[in-house]
A = this chain, B = another copy of it.
Amino acid sequence: MRRETVARPDAIRRHNLGLLLGHVHRDGELTRAQLTQRLALSRSTIGALVADLTESGLLDERVPNGGERAGRPSHVVAPREDGPYAVAVDVDVSRVSCAAVGIGGHVLARHAVANTEPASARLTATLIAESIDALAQQMKPGAWPVGIGVSVPGTVSRTDAMVEFAPNLGWRDEPFGKLLSSVVPEGFAVAVGNDADVAMMAEHLRGAARDCDDAVFLMGRIGVGAGVIANGSPLRGRDGHAGEVGHNVVDASGPRCHCGKRGCVETYVGDKALLKLAGRRRLPTSESVAALFADARGGDERAATAVRTVARSLGHTVATLVNVLNPERVILGGSLAGVFEFAADEVAAAMDEYAMSVAHEAVQLCTPGLGADSTLLGSAELAFARLLADPLAR
């Protein structure tokens, strides 16, 4: 049932402030002339909006970094380091990584805690609360946090930030959003998302899927999951669980998976599979996996064979996603970036075998444009969403 609504002047102004801030957030420094053209508003309206945003400390107007040239200087509207920042958190099995991320997606400070085994939801919340202080101490005077965005390797309900199932953390039905809200400073807004979903969001905004309306981010760490952009918007599914390709069953008589089933994709493609195939009894961490890739590149035949074997399983998994989603681009993140860099031919060969030709011909495979920070920067976007929707609301 549609209803025609009339936009009031104040609502229009707030909407336009959000649009302008959003352009600078996505693209960085922009001149007033560029903003005038992009928003298709008058120069005087843009001037008033810029004044609102600079007066409230959200943006800065200054001579660009290149320095003044001859003639009248063209000022740019830009993020400021003593402005608002998001507390971004990437919860992984062996590490909780935190960062302060400013407007424009710049990492301004970092703080990480490594674990030897997965932390409980309650302990994770406490670690994050401590990190908020550690980050604040690294920030310029005047900078202020807009809220906290956390990614977890598991399914998160759309409505109440409940982590329903994060098998590799050992969490089930953890009211993690509530837990975290109870330990962070009063009024600190908390948002929680799935790691692959937020990584996809960040790559769509500023990374390898920029200007690409149909893309998949396939994340491989200990677990494997996908974030999907379809027709320009995140694909969530009814409850926010879309993209759980890591638990598609390749072989029901295969290895036991943490999820309770057998032969899931992540038992063939995830970090544990990689280390096991290489005959290594080390804990699956970013360090042990990086060492394996280094050895494979250095000529260690067992390591190289392990990566190639995972690459074939990866090609099969990507083919399945390509058949169902017909994306323009598939971004391989986490340890899958390393698999793809070392064994792209094996990935391609498996795709030839498993993907339908019409969908396969069109797809591009690549590694993340934001390197290892896709998830962290996507978590920041969770925290920035409210500010961008209404920049002057506090």
Contact = CB atoms under 8 A, between A and B. Distances in A.
Interface residues of A, number: 53
B248 A324 contact: yes
A239 interface: yes
A38 B2 CA distance: 7
A289 interface: no
A41 B166 CA distance: 49
A237 B261 contact: no
Closest 8 pairs between A and B when the two form their complex, measured CB to CB: A237-B326, A241-B326, A247-B356, A238-B328, A242-B326, A3-B40, A214-B238, A244-B323
A305 interface: no
Interface in A43-89: none
B214 A260 contact: no
A389 interface: no
Q: Taking the full assembly, how many copies of this chain does it contain?
A: 2
A37 to B, nearest CB: 8
Nearest to A214: B238
A244 to B, nearest CB: 5
A248 B323 CA distance: 7
A108 interface: no
Given A2-B39, A214-B237, A244 B353 contact: no
Contacts of A353: 249, 252, 261
Contacts of A236: 231, 326
A193 interface: no
A362 B239 contact: yes
Interface stretch (A114-122, A314-322, A335-343): A314-322
A244 B164 contact: no
Interface string A166-190: 0000000000000000000000000
A324 B261 contact: no
Contacts of A252: 353-354
A253 to B, nearest CB: 11
A226 interface: yes
Given A260-B357, A261-B353, A353-B261, A242 B3 contact: no
A318 B135 CA distance: 46
A358 B194 CA distance: 14
Interface string A225-262: 01000110101111111111101110010000001110
Contact of A326 (B39, B41, B240): B240
Interface of A: 1-4, 19, 38-41, 155, 164-165, 213-214, 226, 230-231, 233, 235-245, 247-249, 252, 259-261, 316, 319-321, 323-328, 353-354, 356-359, 362
A39 B5 CA distance: 11
10 contacts: A155-B359, A231-B235, A237-B326, A239-B359, A241-B358, A244-B326, A244-B356, A245-B323, A261-B354, A321-B324
A81 B321 CA distance: 45
B359 A237 contact: yes
B357 A40 contact: no
Given A2-B39, A164-B358, 8 more contacts: A2-B19, A2-B40, A214-B237, A214-B238, A244-B323, A245-B323, A248-B319, A261-B354
A238 B213 contact: yes
Given A40-B4, A326-B237, A359 B244 contact: yes
Contacts of A325: 235, 237, 242, 324
B235 A354 contact: no
A161 B49 CA distance: 45
